[in-house]
Amino acid sequence: MNDSPGWATPGSAPSDGQEAAIPRPSEPQDTGAPAGQWSPQQPPPGQWSPPSNPGGGPGGPPPAPGRGGGPQRPGWGAQPPAAKPGVIPLRPLGLGEILDGSVSALRAHWRTALGFSLAVSVVVQVAVVLMQRYLLPEPTNVDPNATGTEALRQASESVQTTLISLAPASFLTMIATLFTASVVTVVISRSVLGRPVTLSDAWAEARPRILPLVGLTVLVTLITITVMTVGIGPGLLVGAEAGAALAVLGFGAACVVILWLQVSFALAAPALMLERQGIITALRRSAKLVHGAWWRTFGILALTYLLVFLLSFVVSIPFGIVGVIADGTGVNDFFETGGPSFGWPFLIITGIGEVIVSTLLYPFVAGVMALLYVDQRIRREALDLDLARAAGLPGYDAETLRS
């Protein structure tokens, strides 16, 4: 966001090589600064909350709402509610707040986010249906009675046909996801500050980052392929039973490494979009933000994708059943080794189901990723203070923070 200095520096320095998070303003810590000189790590002597929440004294302005200011709740050590100019409170977020924040942002800006996602999903699904009908090869029938070399040849041809059929759809889905994620990330960044955003504004801000985002996705994909090749390659070269066992072990080790890399690089896309980082810098930035919070990030992502899978299943199954009935395909056709060949009714009806799934779920996942990025920067870099200042909350302006 061009109008929010908190998205880039000064937040990027603290995570470079630091294990611990920056102390919260309510946690004074001696950093060796001269007495009377305030820094984000050390409040002035005798002051337990930083100057970001001035006031409270005679003749001064009222305390700012949020952490460290505003009316105190009853009870010992009670904390005031955090400022919430947009869809999330400006403080470290819980799992429910991240998921709810993504949904709330999409509801508040449904014309921008869901409208764009719907348009992209329709275009992609029309292309997928046309390819499935006219360009992709027919399913390969495998003779269940074949043995030896013939059975191996037929199985290999079936696998190749399946991969060829899935590759174009996977590529188009990846492109659709990138376009949707770029726009939704901008929408989320505005929603955090409580600012309106139109589709033209979001697209104008996201468009220059599309090619870097594609490059980031391609690079992560190549890294994944390389790790898997290194894992199973030696076993395939050795051959025989020992080679098969080695390939299985290498496959398991490669899956573990790939999972670790995928989680470590999960915040690279929001960093690339919002901080205007380069591809390599965004990968490093994500790894530093996730460092020390890998399991938490993994848990949130695992739950998110589980919800996506369940919702996709719930929506797709009814459309698939209706499509099979409308297409006149018998139930026994599903148990054919090569798979049935579907006609227009099935492709169109299931395509409508895929459009619904893509329109709703792609923006949701992109929103969760963006809010995970915001949450990690709040935890590690006190980004909430920059966001409060960018949102124009009282008591957070630059002159007040310096005073």
- DSSP state string for 352-393: HHHHHHHHHHHHHHHHHHHHHHHHHHHHHH-HHHHHHHHTT-
Distance in angstroms (rounded) separating the CA atoms of residues 241 and 245: 6
pLDDT digits (tens, 9 = 90+) for 296-348: 999 999 999 999 999 999 998 999 888 888 877 655 555 454 445 567 888 89
Distance in angstroms (rounded) separating the CA atoms of residues 346 and 334: 13
Q: Which residue has the tokens 């890294």?
A: 223
Count the domains in the chain: 2
- CA 250, 255, 256, 258 dihedral sign is positive
11-14: list long-range contacts, CB under 8 Å, 24+ apart: 11/377, 11/381, 11/382, 11/383, 11/386, 12/275, 12/285, 12/381, 14/380, 14/381
- What DSSP designation does 290 have? H
42 bridge partner residues: 39
- Shared-domain flag, residues 51 and 161: no
What is the mean predicted confidence (pLDDT) over 182-188? 93
Lowest mean pLDDT, pick from 106-110, 146-150, 289-293: 146-150
In-domain check, residue 78 = no
Cis preceding linkage at 61, omega within 30:
no
What is the mean predicted confidence (pLDDT) over 187-201? 92
Lowest mean pLDDT, pick from 108-117, 263-272, 336-345: 336-345
Distance in angstroms (rounded) separating the CA atoms of residues 173 and 160: 20
- Shared-domain flag, residues 358 and 225: yes
What residue type is 22 in one-letter code? I
In-domain check, residue 240 = yes
Cα separation values, 307 from 218, 303, 310, Å? 26, 6, 5
What residue type is 56 in one-letter code? G
Distance in angstroms (rounded) separating the CA atoms of residues 178 and 120: 10
In-domain check, residue 322 = yes
Residues 6 or more apart in contact with residue 118 via CB below 8 angstroms: 355, 359
> CB of 266 within 8 A of CB of 369?
yes
Lowest mean pLDDT, pick from 57-61, 258-262, 330-334, 360-364: 57-61
In-domain check, residue 256 = yes
Q: What is the pTM of this model?
A: 0.75
Per-residue pLDDT at 191 exceeds 90: yes
Q: Which domain holds residue 47?
A: 21-31+38-71
- Shared-domain flag, residues 347 and 211: yes
For residues 152 and 363, the model is more confident at 363
Distance in angstroms (rounded) separating the CA atoms of residues 261 and 252: 14
Tokens for 298?
Answer: 């993994």
In-domain check, residue 11 = no
- Shared-domain flag, residues 105 and 139: yes
pLDDT digits (tens, 9 = 90+) for 116-158: 999 999 998 898 888 877 766 555 555 555 555 555 555 555 5
- Shared-domain flag, residues 233 and 266: yes
- Shared-domain flag, residues 158 and 118: yes
- Shared-domain flag, residues 166 and 264: yes
Tokens for 37?
Answer: 């000189």
Q: How confident is the model at residue 400, as a pLDDT?
A: 54
- Shared-domain flag, residues 172 and 108: yes
For residues 391 and 187, the model is more confident at 187
In-domain check, residue 285 = yes
Tokens for 1?
Answer: 């966001």
- Shared-domain flag, residues 103 and 63: no
- Shared-domain flag, residues 115 and 184: yes
In-domain check, residue 12 = no
- Shared-domain flag, residues 49 and 189: no
In-domain check, residue 350 = yes
Q: How confident is the model at residue 99, as a pLDDT?
A: 94
- CA 257, 258, 262, 263 dihedral sign is negative
When pLDDT is cut at 50, 70 and 90, the band that residue 80 belongs to is: low
Distance in angstroms (rounded) separating the CA atoms of residues 309 and 234: 34
- Shared-domain flag, residues 101 and 247: yes
Quickly count: other Cβ atoms within 10 Å of residue 25's Cβ. Answer: 21
> CB of 97 within 8 A of CB of 88?
yes
Distance in angstroms (rounded) separating the CA atoms of residues 1 and 204: 11
- What DSSP designation does 67 have? T
Per-residue pLDDT at 258 exceeds 90: yes
Q: Which residue has the tokens 């939704």?
A: 184
Tell me which residue of 77, 69, 97, 71 sits closest to 385, measured CA to CA. 69
- Helical H segments across 6-147, by residue range: 95-108, 110-130
Region of 343 on the Ramachandran plot (φ > 0 left; ψ -120 to 50 alpha; else beta): beta
Highest mean pLDDT among 49-63, 68-82, 180-194, 238-252: 180-194
Share of the chain above pLDDT 70, in %: 66
